[in-house]
Amino acid sequence: MILVPILLALAAQQPERPNILWITSEDHGPHLGCYGCPDADTPNLDALAAAGMRWERVWSNAPVCAPARTALITGVWPPSVGAHDMRTLVAPPPWLRFFPQLLREAGWYCTNNKKEDYNLAAPGRVWDESSRRAHWRNRPPGRPFFAVFNLAVTHESRIRQRPHEFRHDPATVRVPAFHPDLPEVRRDWAQYHDQIGLLDRRVGALLAELEADGLAEDTIVFFFSDHGPGLSRCKRWPYDSGLRVPLIVRIPPRWRALAPPGWREGGASSRLVQFLDLAPTVLSLAGIEPPAWMHGRAFLGPYRAEPLPYLYGFRNRMDERSDLVRSLCDGRFVYIRNEMPWLPQGQFLAYENQTPTYRAWRAAWQAGGLPPHLARFWEPKPREELYDLRADPDEVVNLAAVPGHERELARLRAALDDWLLRTNDLGYLPEPRLHALGPAAADYPLAEILALLHRGEAAAAASDDPAYLWWRAQLALHGETPPPPAELRRLAAHADPNVRLLGLEELARRGEEADRAAAVPAILALADPVAGDPWLALAAWNALDRLGPLAAPWREEIAALPVAGPSIPPRIAPNFAKLREHLLAGLRD
């Protein structure tokens, strides 16, 4: 009993420290009244912005939740630690900590209610509590808190729930230029705005709790979403439309010394901010110097630093489908590099296919008659894209091939290369090789791969590296003059399974009858996630699905492949059943 007064006395001697509240939401962009959206019904968020400041150009780094949240919790570019694919799970390097761990060590009570969904395994205990019961009200006396409340009412899945009583009229909502103006699209956008209105009411209730507890003047409040809207060409795509999010911060008067120069209530900042910056910013507000290994830059507090010169975005595997896209933005221009341009944007994704916009758009494309800027979602991608957000905020006019933009392209290409090399982006490794190598994956010839992809420069020093050979084979297979069958057979017999899989798939597509008869069974052998490498099996299932009808003679063997088992990593296990269902449905048709 004597201990309690002692602890209270010690707490009273501590310097005053601010509480920090994160209110996060899911799957929506800055479609709020305070950002000028005419369809918004957001009085509570608008009031929060009027009492604080909003940032005008904020990117989430990844356009889907798990990799985006990995950037948030670490302040580290996820591809630099192999945490870039959707719902992968990799071990963090020994030097990395999740930032709430650093807050807890400094005395903050840290709670999360309740979504985590990171691509990195936790390096020890992260939260004092992470559950639906987590709340600042559970903290010990005298301790400042860092509390996260994640509100999911705007998630992609809520946009497509029917029946729905519309508060917004589908006939009057704005349809962005990158979407076809179809009834299904209008209904989805109207319901999207309805859900943001519901979110606003939930935010208002949470802020009322803070006020009722007498903590509003002691608490710095952040509001932001995890990436762009849960509709095609937004979520999952590293355009501004998929990465731009709202960010509102309210700093009470007593903590105004932690605000940046130029702070004013109701104001807006043009500073470029990205999710990499959130972890160092919270640490700075707590008086903790951000670790040097964080890639982000604090924009509030005593450790405020100059911003990164660009916003950076990435896309790799999304659920069951592989891809590789990198993007960056200087505030005006968005530059996108499609490293696998032979793959369309609209690869079939079982989860996305549940959304009416996706299905209606695909049906309209299949029927023909869509204008080029709408049809290209379903067709092979350009190698590069460049958009001027001032003239073209919906990013539909690709300036990459338009004369007069050579200087901007050269600048942005060089900036992206510099970032990829400086962060040692591991996203250019085949996913199975990344997992097979583990920490050794960091030592691979990225500079030579980038030179090969973008300047056609063959590097003799890297010629034997399997990742380099994999990319060289990709370029050869998708070039104007594909290799002859003899070269395909050589690839199909390669020692590296990732290179071998490329050769087998192309032999099954273009080889002679005997080649096809041997290639598909060889792919089937790689596609067993229980008997073999599940990461390689996922790539093999994608190859089978791309072959489509060419795999029809082996339908029974495909149906017999296992898609579940204890040896399959749980975070990718659902993808096998999705791929099998899609492939077998196509073979029935």
Contacts of range 210-216, beta carbons closer than 8 Å, 24 or more positions apart: 210/21, 213/136, 213/137, 215/19, 215/136, 216/252
Q: Is the pLDDT of residue 11 over 80?
A: no
Residues 283 and 361 in one domain: no
Return the pLDDT at 481: 87
Return the pLDDT at 589: 64
Return the pLDDT at 552: 96
Domain edge (last residue) among 254, 278, 308: 308
For position 141, which CATH number holds? 3.40.720.10
Which secondary-structure segment (H or E) carries 129? Answer: strand 129-130
Residues 268 and 393 in one domain: no
Domain contains 316: no
Alpha carbons 127 and 111: distance in angstroms, whole number = 6
Question: Once rounded to an integer, what is the mean pLDDT over residues 133-138?
Answer: 98
Q: Is the pLDDT of residue 298 over 50?
A: yes
Mapped to the 3 state alphabet, what secondary structure does 179-248 carry? CCCCHHHHHHHHHHHHHHHHHHHHHHHHHHHHHHCCCHHHEEEEEEECCCCCCCCCCCCCCHHHHECCEE
Domain contains 71: yes
* Other CB atoms within 10 A of residue 486 CB: 7
Domain contains 422: no
Domain contains 131: yes
Question: Once rounded to an integer, what is the mean pLDDT over residues 372-376?
Answer: 97
**What is the per-residue pLDDT across 309-333, written as a single tens digit (0 to 9) for each?**
999 999 999 999 999 999 999 999 9
Q: Is the pLDDT of residue 3 over 50?
A: no
**What is the per-residue pLDDT across 539-574, written as a single tens digit (0 to 9) for each?**
999 999 999 999 999 999 999 999 999 999 999 999
Return the pLDDT at 196: 98
Question: Once rounded to an integer, what is the mean pLDDT over residues 56-71?
Answer: 98
Domain contains 571: yes
Read off the tokens for 149: 């409340």
Residues 276 and 334 in one domain: no
Question: Once rounded to an integer, what is the mean pLDDT over residues 186-208?
Answer: 98
Longest dimension (CA), the chain: 86
Residues 164 and 74 in one domain: yes
Q: Parallel, antiparallel, or unpaired for β 145-151 and 247-250?
A: unpaired
Query: Is residue 65 flagged as an active site residue?
Result: yes
- Could you check whether the bond before residue 430 is cis, i.e. omega within 30 degrees of 0? no
Confidence label for 460 from pLDDT (cuts 50, 70 and 90): confident
User: Minimal CA–CA distance to 21: which of 276, 274, 252?
Assistant: 252
Provide the number of structural domains found in the chain.
3
Question: Once rounded to an integer, what is the mean pLDDT over residues 234-263?
Answer: 98
Return the pLDDT at 455: 86
Residues 221 and 280 in one domain: yes
CA dihedral 241, 89, 101, 299 (to 10 degrees): -20
Domain contains 5: no
Q: Is the pLDDT of residue 488 over 50?
A: yes
Confidence label for 480 from pLDDT (cuts 50, 70 and 90): confident
CA dihedral 192, 21, 123, 274 (to 10 degrees): 60
Alpha carbons 103 and 551: distance in angstroms, whole number = 54
Residue 496's SS3 state is: coil
**What is the per-residue pLDDT across 441-456, written as a single tens digit (0 to 9) for each?**
999 999 999 999 998 8
Residues 196 and 334 in one domain: no
Residues 438 and 536 in one domain: yes
Residues 166 and 214 in one domain: yes
Residues 329 and 243 in one domain: no
User: Minimal CA–CA distance to 318: which of 581, 26, 92, 63?
Assistant: 63
Tell me the percentage of the chain whose pLDDT exceeds 90. 93
- Over the chain, what is the mean pLDDT? 95
Confidence label for 459 from pLDDT (cuts 50, 70 and 90): confident
Domain contains 416: no
The catalytically annotated residue of 65, 110, 234, 329 is 65
Domain edge (last residue) among 280, 308, 336: 308
Domain contains 281: yes
Residues 54 and 202 in one domain: yes
Domain edge (last residue) among 351, 384, 411: 411
Angle at 513 between CA 507 and CA 514, to 5 degrees: 80
Return the pLDDT at 10: 40
Residue span of the structural domain in which 490 resides: 429-588
Window from 188-202, 290-304, 462-476, 521-535 with minimum mean pLDDT: 462-476
Cβ neighbours for 292, distance < 8 A, ≥ 6 positions apart: none
Residues 178 and 265 in one domain: yes
Question: Once rounded to an integer, what is the mean pLDDT over residues 148-155?
Answer: 98
Alpha carbons 464 and 409: distance in angstroms, whole number = 32
Residues 49 and 172 in one domain: yes
